[in-house]
């Protein structure tokens, strides 16, 4: 899997072309077949690699408190 660097893409394209390309990339990457929706249960832990994942939370937890932690692991850079 190749990782797209949106910053480089948006700098290389201008105006309507950039908007069209980015909109289409997001549409493809957020297609239901490529998304994951987790149904939470007590004790669940979910981990993701932010180097190649888009995160778009659905705020459907009401007033239930959530506890989140971030860990940074040093090592290989994404290709």
Give the pLDDT confidence of 4-61 residue by residue, as tens digits: 555 555 566 667 777 888 788 888 888 888 888 888 888 888 887 777 777 777 777 7
Instruction: Fill in the DSSP letter of residue 71.
Output: -
Q: How confident is the model at residue 1 (pLDDT cuts 50, 70, 90)?
A: very low
Q: What is the pTM of this model?
A: 0.46
pLDDT higher than 50, residue 2 = no
Give the pLDDT confidence of 47-75 residue by residue, as tens digits: 877 777 777 777 777 888 878 888 877 77
């Amino acid at each position: 899997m190749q990782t797209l660097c949106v910053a480089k893409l948006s700098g290389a394209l201008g105006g309507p072309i950039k908007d069209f390309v980015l909109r289409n990339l997001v549409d493809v990457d957020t297609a239901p077949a490529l998304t994951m929706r987790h149904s939470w249960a007590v004790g669940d832990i979910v981990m993701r690699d932010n180097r190649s994942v888009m995160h778009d939370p659905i705020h459907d937890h009401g007033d239930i408190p959530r506890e989140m932690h971030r860990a940074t692991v040093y090592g290989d850079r994404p290709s």
